[in-house]
């Protein structure tokens, strides 16, 4: 599938209100961000994905924290265009090969896990939890031996705007996954002004 991001950032959030997530995605689009990841950590997550797909047909919508085949299939049925796991799952990798229009993104932390994913045919992977595992310096060291593979990386986990450029400077890194932008407290408090401020802060860190 085509994974065309307008900015190298993927907002990641825990959502339980489908009308609220449509409002939030609308704000992202106003700033040119055409992607959002909904983690499957609430009973309403799939409903939120469906609401996004109906409201924004061209939006890149991800389902995160996917750990089972049932969750994978339910996410695809809800309208997700990419599926993200925090780990390597052989069963999900095998399942993903059946869906040419859905991008599967398993997570890795070590060279062994990265090798496993790449040798299993994965073309996009998530470095997780990025900042808690050693940050951009560790990622640089991990990927250096894998020059014979063609793949993309999305570092995720604890990344703040000030660290984005360190990751984007590395080969293979196409975007950073960021929960900072859509912090649960902001969502719960309907603090959309703070949300916009974090969007501006993040985009400024990329462009300046």
How high is the pLDDT of residue 23?
A: 97
Burial 29-61 (b: 16+ CB within 10 A, else e): beeebbbbbbbbeeeebbbbbbbbbeebeebbb
How high is the pLDDT of residue 2?
A: 76
Query: What pLDDT digit, counting tens, does each position of 89-108 carry?
Result: 999 999 999 999 999 999 99
Query: What pLDDT digit, counting tens, does each position of 37-60 carry?
Result: 999 999 999 999 999 999 999 999
Please confirm, yes or no, whether 144 is among the known catalytic residues.
no
How high is the pLDDT of residue 117?
A: 99
Please confirm, yes or no, whether 126 is among the known catalytic residues.
yes
Q: Give me the catalytic one of 54, 94, 113, 126.
A: 126
pLDDT average, residue stretch 9-34: 97
pTM of the model: 0.96
pLDDT average, residue stretch 18-35: 97
Query: What pLDDT digit, counting tens, does each position of 111-130 carry?
Result: 999 999 999 999 999 999 99
Q: How far is residue 192 from each of residues 23, 28, 32, 167, measured CA to CA in Å?
A: 9, 11, 16, 27
Query: What pLDDT digit, counting tens, does each position of 54-85 carry?
Result: 999 999 999 999 999 999 999 999 999 999 99
How high is the pLDDT of residue 208?
A: 84
Q: Which domains does the chain have, with CATH numbers?
A: 9-201 (3.20.20.70)
Query: What pLDDT digit, counting tens, does each position of 144-182 carry?
Result: 999 999 999 999 999 999 999 999 999 999 999 999 999
Place of tokens 């890795």: 108
Give percent of the chain above pLDDT 70: 100
């Amino acid at each position: 599938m085509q994974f065309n991001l307008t900015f190298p950032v993927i907002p990641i959030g825990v959502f339980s209100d489908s009308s609220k997530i449509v409002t939030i995605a609308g704000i992202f689009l106003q700033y040119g961000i055409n992607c959002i990841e909904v983690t499957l950590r609430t009973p309403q997550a799939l409903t939120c994905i469906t609401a996004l797909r109906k409201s924004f047909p061209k939006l890149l919508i991800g389902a995160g924290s996917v750990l089972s085949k049932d969750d994978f299939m339910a996410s695809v049925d809800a309208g997700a265009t990419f599926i993200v796991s925090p780990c390597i799952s052989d069963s999900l990798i095998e399942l993903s090969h059946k869906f040419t229009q859905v991008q599967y993104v398993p997570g890795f932390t070590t060279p062994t896990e990265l090798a496993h994913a790449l040798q299993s045919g994965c073309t996009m992977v998530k470095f997780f939890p990025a900042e808690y595992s050693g940050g951009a310096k560790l990622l640089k060291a991990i990927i250096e031996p894998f020059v014979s593979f063609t793949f993309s990386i999305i570092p995720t986990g604890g990344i703040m705007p000030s660290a984005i450029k360190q990751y984007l400077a590395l080969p293979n890194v196409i975007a950073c996954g960021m929960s900072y932008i859509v912090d649960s407290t902001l969502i719960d408090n309907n603090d959309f002004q703070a949300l916009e401020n974090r969007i501006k802060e993040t985009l400024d860190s990329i462009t300046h």
